[in-house]
């Protein structure tokens, strides 16, 4: 096991600004391309990250701290953002994500004692008993998953353009995610 709260926060606090530097000012060609029918573009991925800040990580953290396994987590709607924040520009989304993440990290550090509380448990609707530290590690890897998704979407846009080099470019040699 490698989880450490301070190291986890190092990633959580970098993700919004990393995405801002990478995405702000890009042409619509990059921001609106996707990997095919029913897949997300980069703007939609940022929308999903915003929705998770609001409805996923902190509510679940609070349930673990307050209810333990007495109350299962409410389900998280992975598609809610496609309606709820789809009218925002990419810069508005990036700012919103950054603001929410900053608040959430502050609340996380206030609420959780890493010596005493990381082994506390909650009840996941699919998995059953899960630990607070697993939730927090998942928050980090969820960020990494979606940064990876964004760059993969963009690489896909140039699949034909790279010609024979496609064979050497690992990012183009994976099956699309579900």
CA dihedral in degrees (74, 78, 84, 87; nearest 10)? 160
> Alpha helix locations (H) across the chain?
5-23, 28-31, 42-55, 57-67, 81-84, 90-111, 132-157
Closer CB to a copy of itself, 61 or 87, in the complex: 61
The residue count for binding a copy of itself (CB under 8 A) is: 58
Closer CB to a copy of itself, 87 or 174, in the complex: 174
**Cβ–Cβ under 8 Å, residues 118 and 112:** yes
Q: Is 133 near a copy of itself (CB under 8 A)?
A: yes
Which residues form the interface with a copy of itself (CB under 8 A)? 1-4, 6-7, 10-11, 14, 17-18, 21-22, 25-27, 29-30, 33, 124, 126-128, 130-131, 133-135, 137-138, 140-142, 144-145, 147-149, 151-152, 154-155, 157-158, 160-165, 169-174, 177-178
């Amino acid at each position: 096991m490698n989880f450490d709260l301070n190291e986890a926060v190092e990633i959580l606090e970098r993700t919004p600004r990393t995405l801002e530097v990478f995405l702000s000012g890009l042409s619509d060609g990059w921001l609106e391309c996707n990997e095919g029918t029913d897949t997300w573009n980069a703007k939609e991925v940022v929308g999903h990250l915003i929705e998770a800040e609001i409805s996923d990580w902190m509510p679940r953290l609070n349930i673990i701290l307050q209810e333990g396994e007495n109350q299962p987590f409410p389900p998280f709607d992975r598609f809610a953002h496609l309606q709820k924040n789809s009218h925002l520009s990419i810069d508005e989304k990036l700012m919103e994500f950054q603001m929410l993440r900053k608040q959430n990290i502050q609340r996380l550090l206030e609420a959780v004692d890493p010596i005493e509380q990381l082994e506390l448990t909650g009840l996941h609707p699919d998995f059953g008993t899960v630990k607070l530290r697993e939730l927090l590690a998942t928050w980090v890897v969820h960020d990494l998953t979606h940064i990876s998704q964004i760059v993969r979407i963009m690489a896909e846009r140039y699949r034909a353009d790279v010609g024979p080099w496609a064979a050497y470019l690992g990012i183009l040699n994976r099956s699309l995610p579900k």
